Each structure stands twice: as C-alpha cells, then as structure tokens.
Amino acid sequence: MSAAQGVHKVVIIGSGPAGWTAAIYAARAQLHPVVYTGVPKQDPGPVLPGGQLMLTTEVENYPGFPHGVMGPEMMGLFQQQAERFGTRVIAEDIARCDFSRRPFELHAANGDVIKTNSVIIATGAVANWLGLKNEMRLATIGGGVSACAVCDGALPAFRDQPLAVVGGGDTAMEEATYLTKFASTVYVIHRRDSFRASKVMQARFMGRHNAKVLWNKAVVDVLGDEKITGVELKDTVTGEVSRLDVKGLFIAIGHTPATKFLKGSGVELDESGYILLRHRNSYTNIPGVFAAGDVADSAYRQAVTASGMGCMAALDAERWLAAEGVH
C-alpha cells in the first residue's frame, strides 16, 4: 500500500482456493495484496472463510496430495503459503463496492473504507441446501452429506453403498450418473413427478442398472449421529412418511454465487448472478476489477479450476497495473 495515498495495489475479496492462489501470485509479484476473508454466515447456507472446502472432509482429487487431504487443512496450507510471501489477511466482510472512480472504494461491514487500484473478486458460490438441522451438522463433520458428488462420491465410504441425490435438474442428473460408477444403488429423490433436466441427461442416468427414481418425495429429515443412516421422506401428494436407508446424501439443488455485495457496483452478472468474464480471462466489464473461481464459474466448481482462475486473475491484475503505471 502507498503510505502517501493509503491506496492498495490489489485487494482480494474471498478466501477459497481462488482467493489464496491469487494472493500467492500477487504477493510474489510484490503487489502487497490484502485478502478480506469474510466471516461465517448462514445466508444462503453456510458461507465460510476458506470457501466450500471448509465443508469437505477428505479431498482426493487435488494434485500434490497423493494420500488426500482434509479440506480445511488444505485451505490452511494455502493461507500459510500466501502469508509467507507477505499477504495481509483481514477477517471482515466487504459489504459494498464503489467502482465508479479510481482508486476504487470498498466498504467493509465494520465501517472501514478501503481504497485500492485493483480488485480480485473470489467470493465463490454457495451450494443450496435443504435447510435441515442434521443435514448441515453431518455435512460439517464429514458424516456422509455433501453438495458435490464429483468432489466426494469416489471416497471409500461411499463405494458399493446405497446413495441418494436430491434434485431434478441437469446438475442432479450429472451427479447421480457419476455416483452410479461407485454405488450399489443411486436414488434420485424429486419432489415432483417429472424432471426439469434435459432429456439426454435423464436418459443417461435412467439407463444405468443401479439407478432408481423416487417421485413426489421430499426429504424432511436426515437420520444418523456420526454418519448418515438414512433419510425421512414425505410424499408430496399423499403426505405419507417413509424411511430410506442410505449411506450418503448428495444435495444437487443448485448454487448461489456470492455476489449480493456487488449490487449497484456496475459489475455485470449473468441471469443467475455469476460474474461475467471477458475474452476467456479474468477481466470483468470494469477495468481493474477481476474475478476468479466459482463466483464466475457455474460449470466446473472444482478446487483446482478455482486455483487456476486465481492464478490468471493475479497475472491479469499485475499486467493491468503495470500498464496503468502503478508500481
């Protein structure tokens, strides 16, 4: 930060894989980044410093960890690496952004006003949950409840076990089809009598020998203490309550990008609230404002892709600042 003007070179908003990777690259480039990690909140679902990996137990698909690594541990390592190169970390939310003039002004929830020449937005996207108490408890302790089958479905605990997926869109079909590779049976639980998913995605799932659909059913409780043992279902037509024994529950009812704080900032979002990027890089429509990770990626939502985007954003910011004469 310039001592004369009190203006940062780059501020990174968010502290998942994208944010920490951006911080590592920016710090090594002598940009003296500041990371605003955010604070835990429940809207919508649990939003945690460290991102969705804070709700993931064992991560087996991130390169460099041949024996796997716990999600929170990996985010701690990312943070340590960023801090090693001089990244400053502030545990506070950014509530509002003013990108109408430079330096930009970021308004923190505690009333602080932060001035910066560039911003990297890496606030991620939050999985939509059912909102059941035991659902969230089991999700946070590694009890067999997850919002990402591609992330967690291949874990040994789920192999050759009955698993359930909640949802009816393309994401639910994709997740359920993926799980059929490992599970004894995959139940798709849907509260209506037809899917919203495309016909091709439906056919791909329904064609698997271990695929089953439970129509007109809603999950009203998640059962189990340390590990999930089943779910309680309510028929949306008759009201009848039943139990389904499963060893894993995957919630696939969509994601909500963490972009509420950008309202009125001028940053362009798509119809679902994700940040729109320019030219297949990290540039938003506002020069000097970059985005990385799940906040701008509705397709992949993986730790490794988020990290790659964080790298891109830091490199783009470094080059942009240099072109603007900010040293």
Domain definitions of the chain by residue range? 11-126+255-323, 129-251
Selected from 3.30.420.40, 3.60.130.10, 3.50.50.60, 3.40.50.300, the CATH number assigned to the domain covering 11-126+255-323 reads: 3.50.50.60
pLDDT on residue 1: 43
Range name among 18-27, 132-141, 204-213 with the lowest pLDDT average: 132-141
pLDDT in tens, 89-108: 999 999 999 999 999 999 99
- Report in angstroms the alpha-carbon separations of 279 from 18, 98, 237, 285: 19, 24, 48, 10
Q: Alpha-carbon distance 315 to 83, whole Å?
A: 18
Considering the segment(s) 129-251 as one domain, its CATH architecture is 3-Layer(bba) Sandwich (3.50)
Two domains, one topology: 11-126+255-323 and 129-251: yes
pLDDT on residue 39: 86
Beta bridge partners of 291: 121
Q: Which amino acid is at 148?
A: C
pLDDT on residue 56: 67
pLDDT on residue 146: 94
DSSP 58-88: EE-SSTT-TT-EEHHHHHHHHHHHHHHTT-E
Q: Tell me which residues are annotated as active site.
A: 148, 151-152
Please report which confidence band the pLDDT of residue 127 belongs to, taking 50, 70 and 90 as the band edges.
confident
Please report which confidence band the pLDDT of residue 45 belongs to, taking 50, 70 and 90 as the band edges.
low
* pLDDT surpassing 50 at residue 2: no
